[in-house]
Homo-oligomer: A and B are copies of this chain.
């Protein structure tokens, strides 16, 4: 990936909050969300995070702060979804990011204050004053399964007599997920009812899920789609990807065990999926690219999944954490408990390979489509991205630090996911948070 001035950590913003050391949203990030001021009187529209503010792109247009392709891109952003902006493609994405970077960068030492700072200040809204909406109108949602550590953990726990499915090392496996129940950080998720088969029984029962779990994933937003019947080559795949967010693939393990053969997960997953509001662009992630390596004794990627750039920098070193805040912790003002920490760089398949595989048969992606990366679990036990792995399917509960333990999620639990990139010499690029709370099951009448 090319690095340029927008990746230079030495460049500061005139907005002080953007220059704080642990800020998720420095000048080098500039992620996108759909927002409005709280209260519901305004239309939802696109904004960019900077420090503790939201840059209102519609206001930048109104104040005549933009021109050329950046202006056209900002006009496309003045809508309640980012789909039209996505469809403009990487040149437009880059033009707007660079123009906003220039508007909000601090003047060089000795130069006078920028003339239009007062106008720009009218384009800022405090993040504490806004509410968010889904960033895009999502046409299709596909959930991948691309962490070999996660896959091996699951096989060991649930089907100890079988091996990793032989196709896993040949293709990024995936299934289609549910769009209607995708919600935004803050989503309240009702514990699902469903059929499950108790051990040793042959007749299933219907009850509230007893093994409710999260899955730590990244969400991948498709910027530019493809025509039906026209695969996207792996070499071009990243030009079709706009950016990434945090994704919680809530999972009902008991329902999943009983329903999933032969058609895969259905009700075990489709009651809720939660994403974070801010989409971090692929351009902002450029300094954190990582080699993607396939050990020589494992299957090498088939031609349509292989490219030099994918090997040299297909991975991305995104630090990820899952925290849990129980109702008891919340009421006693206790700290949340960190359940795990890992990095996206361990993933067995890359974002470009997911896109190339998804389209190789001619399936068309559209602007605003969402891909889930699949659970992100690293090579050690503490890096597991789901409770089922951390607790050995409930047999070894984790301690929350306040005396409570968890085998699976309980009512009132809030799951918080965090993500960020850090590397010496570069600004921290953060994803913000993804929160979701478990509500009790509906009473069966």
* Chain A interface SS verdict (over half): loop
In the assembled complex, the Cα of A362 lies from the Cα of B204 at a distance in Å of 19
Q: Which of B173, B206, B299 contacts A259 (CB 8 A)?
A: B173
A239 proximity list for chain B (CB < 8 A): none
Which residues 272-308 of A have a CB within 8 angstroms of B? 272, 299, 302-304
Structural contact, B176 and A206, CB atoms closer than 8 A: no
What class of interface size applies to chain A in its complex with B? 35 or more
Q: Could you say how many copies of this chain the assembly holds?
A: 2
Structural contact, A174 and B139, CB atoms closer than 8 A: no
Given A171-B195, A176-B177, A363-B178, answer yes or no on A190-B270 (Cβ-Cβ < 8 Å).
Answer: no
- Residue A199 at the chain B interface, CB threshold 8 Å: no
Among A190, A263, A365, the most chain B Cβ lie within 10 Å of the Cβ of A263
In the assembled complex, the Cα of A202 lies from the Cα of B299 at a distance in Å of 10
Given A173-B266, A299-B203, answer yes or no on A193-B259 (Cβ-Cβ < 8 Å).
Answer: no
- Select from chain B the residue with minimum beta-carbon distance to A144: B263
Min CB–CB distance A443 → chain B (angstroms): 12
Q: Which of B192, B195, B262, B363 contacts A267 (CB 8 A)?
A: B363
A192 proximity list for chain B (CB < 8 A): 360-362
- Select from chain B the residue with minimum beta-carbon distance to A209: B361
Contact with B along A195-223 (1 / 0, CB 8 A): 10100001110100100000000000000
Min CB–CB distance A256 → chain B (angstroms): 11
Among A166, A229, A267, the most chain B Cβ lie within 10 Å of the Cβ of A229
Given A167-B259, A228-B190, A264-B262, answer yes or no on A364-B181 (Cβ-Cβ < 8 Å).
Answer: yes
- Residue A265 at the chain B interface, CB threshold 8 Å: yes
- Select from chain B the residue with minimum beta-carbon distance to A230: B442
A145 proximity list for chain B (CB < 8 A): 263
Min CB–CB distance A44 → chain B (angstroms): 19
Which residues 424-445 of A have a CB within 8 angstroms of B? 439, 442
Min CB–CB distance A344 → chain B (angstroms): 20
- Select from chain B the residue with minimum beta-carbon distance to A252: B361
A267 proximity list for chain B (CB < 8 A): 357-358, 360-361, 363
- Select from chain B the residue with minimum beta-carbon distance to A154: B262
Structural contact, A270 and B361, CB atoms closer than 8 A: yes
Known A176-B270, A229-B439; 9 more pairs at CB < 8 Å: A167-B204, A171-B195, A173-B266, A193-B362, A194-B361, A206-B303, A261-B262, A267-B357, A362-B442
User: Which 5 pairs between the two chains have the least Cβ-Cβ distance?
Assistant: A264-B264, A192-B361, A190-B229, A176-B176, A263-B264
* A→B interface (CB under 8 Å): 139-140, 145, 165-167, 170-171, 173-181, 183, 190, 192-195, 197, 202-204, 206, 209, 225, 228-231, 252, 255, 258-268, 270-272, 299, 302-304, 357-358, 360-366, 369, 439, 442
26 A–B pairs (Cβ distance < 8 Å), ordered by A: A139-B180, A140-B179, A165-B261, A167-B197, A170-B195, A173-B262, A175-B175, A175-B264, A176-B178, A180-B366, A181-B364, A193-B360, A194-B361, A206-B302, A206-B303, A206-B360, A209-B361, A228-B271, A260-B264, A262-B264, A263-B265, A264-B265, A267-B361, A268-B361, A271-B363, A272-B362
